[in-house]
Amino acid sequence: MAQAFTEPLLLAALAAREHAHAPFSKFKVGAALQETEGRIHTGCNVENATYGLTICAERVAVFKAVSEGARRFLRIAVAADTESLTPPCGACRQILWEFCGNLEIVLVNPHGRKEVLRLEELFPRPFDVSYL
């Protein structure tokens, strides 16, 4: 039986997933990014027929947050309906590192599975401003 989540961040990611526009892959993803002050910004994946113009849920959440003036983040929840919990893709890892640093990542699915890790575990040698 699925464990019911009660934490607002996880519920927000799962709810955002329901808004995904994934007519081609049918792979719906939701993300919820929490600021250090507690405010939560959500995003979902939005597909395009050319695939290359598709944008992932994590990047939507980051860009929405930044466009609303947010600059400091604690953690992000990523929700997908997969048995093996789905981590951010490489492009999202780069964006998360640049805008959020080594934040906590909470992976969830609608069936109550959850895993918590830090971005540096997924992205051990990121490219950032220190190389410029």
Q: Active-site residues: which are they?
A: 58
Which residues, 6+ apart, have CB-to-CB distance to 131 below 8 Å?
none
The tokens describing 85, both together, are 């919990």
Closest CA to 88 of 21, 15, 29, 129: 29
What residue type is assigned to position 24 of the chain?
A: F
**Strand, helix or coil for residue 13:** helix
Distance from chain centroid for Cα 15:
13
